[in-house]
Structures are given as structure tokens and as C-alpha cells.
Amino acid sequence: MPETGNRALHIAAIAGDGIGPEVVDAALPAIVAAAAGEGTSLEFTKLPYGAEHFLQTGETMPDHAFEQLTAEADAIFLGALGDPRVPTNEHARDILLGLRFRLDLYVNFRPCRLLHPDLCPLRPPASGTRHIDFAIFRENTEGLYLGRGTSSDEGTDDEVHVAHEVHSAKKVERIITAAFTWAHRHGRSRVTMADKSNAVPAHRLWGRVFDRVATAFPDIEAEHRYVDALAMELVRDPDRFEVIVTGNLFGDILSDLGAELVGGLGVSPSANVHPGRLGLFEPVHGSAPSLVGTGAANPMAAILTGALMLDHLGLPNGAERLERAVRSALAERITTPDLGGTYSTTGVGEWVADRVRGD
Ligand code: NAD
Ligand code: IPM
Ligand code: MN
């Protein structure tokens, strides 16, 4: 972790596609202000990689850019990748999944926290007050995402694709350990592991490793759910969940479900990390092509992603400043249309940045 205080940190920004550049531009001033409040200046270098660059040059992310990143950046901040002009999504595979894999960012940390009670689409619980605050630990380096397998007779009636889903003991163990360690450090009392071992024999590895790792954390309840039942229970009673650990694909799906429970993709951040190493920070949402240029993209997910980045960079107070400012914006209804407001992407970004500066 870099030293902090009266120094500059270098952030490589990949704004990417669709609403990516809009939310990144709207979020940066607030993030810069929050770091400045902690005596740290952030220097952003914008990198051009994304669909447009790919279509113009044929280049996704060249090796020299990757090497420069790893040599110079303290963190990578990414908007979104995905463009209808690249239906294969090959540039996103290379850039986004490429960074996750090459940097071995095995923890995809996706907190789902209800920052304002009105944001939850569910009826209030019997107790009266909703309190949703769980974190998804998504395995980020294997599963089906490796894209391994074979294809034959493509384009014919006999077309067959075999996709290998990879689960290796060491990689399952490190993500489960990360989930328990985080739970322990944050005073959480339960970790829920989700798999589909009743149908997919390979998933039994998750149960064995989970039980073993759990013995090192006797104060934390270790519970198992099949992922289909977990999806159901997350809607029925989200308040009871604290930490969820699961594989790559299930984590992807559950994180959009979790996002919607707390206000949607417009307010849901994520961090791709390997403790002690260069991390990649991106909202959970994608490039939302239909919102491009409308000013309706919510920048709060990107701002809260900035908070996760500052926390990782050793600036937890800066992270708290950002979160406080977003909570104030929500309380005062300074929001984009997804949350029922009339503010624009830049309007929300400016309001939050001003609030951070005045904090
Ligand atoms: P999406 O997240 O872009 O959009 C899903 C829905 O959420 C849409 O209705 C969209 O309008 C809304 N939404 C998303 N972000 C929002 C925001 N900030 N404010 C308000 N509303 C928001 O998912 P999709 O439509 O399935 O995918 C679009 C493209 O994005 C695809 O190419 C996909 O592969 C890509 N994608 C990229 C990432 C990433 O870069 N991390 C993540 C998810 C999807
Ligand atoms: C996400 C996205 C990506 C994923 C896509 C764009 C490859 O959905 O970050 O959640 O599946 O990981
Ligand atoms: Mn996703």
C-alpha cells in the first residue's frame, strides 16, 4: 500500500464506452476533493482504451500500456466497457477481464448497502426498518470466465460449444479466506457461501474448502445456500445477509440483484483487488447504451467506487467523505431520473463534489 499524506497518487483512468466517460468525468472532481481533504493529490492519466479505440486501431489494450500501468499507477479507475458496434465484446474481454486476470485481482468486492431507506424496492419488513448491508465476494479469476473450451461445426445445425468451468482449490480457498477475513475485521457474524453443488459436481469443492476455512473463524457462522435459493432469499429477507462468497458467474448475477435491492446499478460500486497490489475499481453497471448523451446516467456508483479506491489506497477518511456526501445528496433528493430526481449526471457530480469540499 502506498504511503499517504502530502503526496501524489497516480490513477490510470479508463473511461471506456457508453456512459463510462460521462460517469467518470462527473465522479472525478468529488474523488479528487475527497483525497485532497486528506492531504493527498490524485493525478489522473486518461487512457484511450475502449470500443472506439479498438474500432479505429484494432488494438484492445497493448502490452506496453499494461506494463506502463503496472509500473506507474497506484490504482486503475474504469467507467464501463461494452459497445453495440463490438458484438463479440472482445475488447472488453481483453481490457476488463484481461486486467482482472493479468493482475490476478481475485477479489471482486461488491458491497450492497442501503444508503437511504427509500431506495429499496421491497415492502418494509415486519420490524419496520430496512437494513440492507451485505458484501459480495465474487471469485474473479476463474470459473467459466476463463473462456476455455472447444467449439465445433460453428454455423451449422451440429454446432456444439464446450465451456470449461474451472475451480481450483487454492483459488477457491483464497476468495473464501478473503471473505472470512473481511467479515472478521468488520465485525460481521455470518458468511454465506453459494454454489450449485446439487447439480454441478465440481462445485462440491467449494463446500469442502468453505468448511475447512470456517474452522479458523469460530466466531463467524458459516452457512451454505444453493445459489437459486439464495436469489430467492435475497429478495425475501435481504436484511439477514452479511457476507456472501461465491464463484465468478454467480457473483456477477447476484451482484446485479443485490444492486437492485439498494437502489440499482446507479448506486452500486465494485473493487477488483488482490490485497497489497494494484487494484481496479469500476462501478457494477455497464455502458448503458440507451442513456448515452441523455445526462441521465447516475454518477453515484462511480463516486462510491472512488470511495472503495481511496479506502484501498489507505485513505479511509477520504472514502467516508465521499460516502457522507452521497448520503446527503440522496437525503436531499439531488438525484438522476433512475432515483426519481431531475438532476443530470454532471449536476449530481458537481453537487457531491461541492459537498465534499465543504465537509
Ligand atoms: P448495464 O449495466 O449497462 O445497464 C442495465 C440497466 O441499468 C439499463 O437499464 C441501464 O440504463 C441501467 N443503468 C446502468 N447504469 C446506470 C447508471 N449509472 N445510471 C442509471 N441507470 C443505469 O447492462 P447491460 O445493458 O446488460 O449492458 C450494456 C453493455 O455494458 C454491454 O456491452 C455489457 O457487456 C456491458 N457491461 C459492462 C460492464 C463493465 O464494464 N464493468 C458491466 C456490465 C455490463
Ligand atoms: C461486470 C460485468 C462484466 C462481468 C462483463 C462486462 C464482462 O458484467 O463487471 O459485472 O461479467 O464481469
Ligand atoms: Mn455484471
Phi, psi of 317 (to 5 degrees): -70, -35
Give me the sheet containing 40-47, strands edge to edge: 40-47, 7-16, 75-80, 279-283, 269-273, 107-113, 133-139, 243-246, 190-195, 221-226
Residue count (the chain): 359
Q: What integer pLDDT is reported at residue 4 of this predicted model? A: 47
Report whether 175 contacts 108 (CB < 8 A).
no
Task: Give the residue whose CA is nearest to atom 23 of ligand 1.
Answer: 286
Burial of 159 (0-12, 13-18, 19+ CB in 10 A): exposed
The best mutation among 96, 140, 305 to test binding of ligand 2, ranked by most ligand atoms within 8 Å of the C-beta, falls on 96
Task: Give the residue whose CA is nearest to atom 22 of ligand 1.
Answer: 266
Rounded distance from Cα 93 to ligand 3 centre (Å): 13
Could you confirm whether 196 is annotated as catalytic? yes
Determine whether the shortest distance from the Cβ of 119 to ligand 2 is under 6 A.
no
- Give the number of the atom of ligand 2 that is nearest the alpha carbon of residue 81: 6
* Long-range contact pairs involving 197-202 (C-beta distance under 8 Å, separation at least 24): 197/226, 198/226, 200/165, 202/165, 202/167
From 256, 338, 354, 359, the catalytic residue: 256
Provide the Cα torsion 208, 273, 20, 345; round to 10°: 100
From 46, 133, 196, 354, the catalytic residue: 196
From 17, 83, 252, 311, the catalytic residue: 252
Burial of 71 (0-12, 13-18, 19+ CB in 10 A): exposed
What's the mean pLDDT in 133-141? 98
Could you confirm whether 46 is annotated as catalytic? no
What's the mean pLDDT in 168-174? 98
Q: Which residue has the cell 439464495?
A: 230
What single-letter DSSP state applies at residue 163?
E
Q: What confidence tens digit (pLDDT) does each residue in 172-200 have?
A: 999 999 999 999 999 999 999 999 999 99
- Rounded distance between C-alpha atoms, residue 305 and residue 13, angstroms: 13
Q: What integer pLDDT is reported at residue 21 of this predicted model? A: 98
From 145, 171, 195, 311, the catalytic residue: 145
Task: Give the residue whose CA is nearest to atom 4 of ligand 2.
Answer: 252
Rounded distance from Cα 252 to ligand 3 centre (Å): 5
Strands 190-195 and 243-246: parallel
Phi, psi of 198 (to 5 degrees): -75, -15
Report whether 259 contacts 310 (CB < 8 A).
no
Q: What confidence tens digit (pLDDT) does each residue in 320-340 have?
A: 999 999 999 999 999 999 999
Q: How confident is the model at residue 128 (pLDDT cuts 50, 70, 90)?
A: confident
| Higher-pLDDT residue of 126, 230 | 230
pLDDT higher than 80, residue 316? yes
Ligand (nearest to CA of 138): 2
pLDDT higher than 80, residue 277? yes
Report whether 42 contacts 35 (CB < 8 A).
yes
Distances (CA, A) of 320 to 2, 315, 334: 19, 9, 19
Rounded distance from Cα 70 to ligand 2 centre (Å): 22
Give the three-class secondary structure for 301: helix
Task: Give the residue whose CA is nearest to atom 3 of ligand 2.
Answer: 252
Ligand (nearest to CA of 286): 1
Percent with pLDDT over 90 in the chain: 96
**Residue 282's closest CA among 36, 37, 49, 109?**
109
C-alpha 274: how far from its chain's center?
14
pLDDT higher than 90, residue 3? no
- Rounded distance between C-alpha atoms, residue 182 and residue 108, angstroms: 13
Q: What confidence tens digit (pLDDT) does each residue in 151-164 have?
A: 999 999 999 999 99
The best mutation among 19, 285, 298 to test binding of ligand 1, ranked by most ligand atoms within 8 Å of the C-beta, falls on 285
Could you confirm whether 256 is annotated as catalytic? yes
Task: Give the residue whose CA is nearest to atom 42 of ligand 1.
Answer: 286
What's the mean pLDDT in 248-274? 98
Q: How confident is the model at residue 7 (pLDDT cuts 50, 70, 90)?
A: confident
| Summary mean pLDDT of the chain | 96
What's the mean pLDDT in 209-230? 98
- Give the number of the atom of ligand 1 that is nearest the alpha carbon of residue 256: 2
- Rounded distance between C-alpha atoms, residue 144 and residue 124, angstroms: 37
Protein residues with CB under 6 Å of any ligand 1 atom: 19, 23, 80-82, 89, 96, 265-266, 282, 285-291, 297-298, 301, 338
Q: Residues within 5 Å of ion ligand 3 by Cβ?
A: 252
Q: What confidence tens digit (pLDDT) does each residue in 47-77 have?
A: 999 999 999 999 999 999 999 999 999 999 9
Determine whether the shortest distance from the Cβ of 194 to ligand 2 is under 6 A.
no
Q: How confident is the model at residue 6 (pLDDT cuts 50, 70, 90)?
A: low
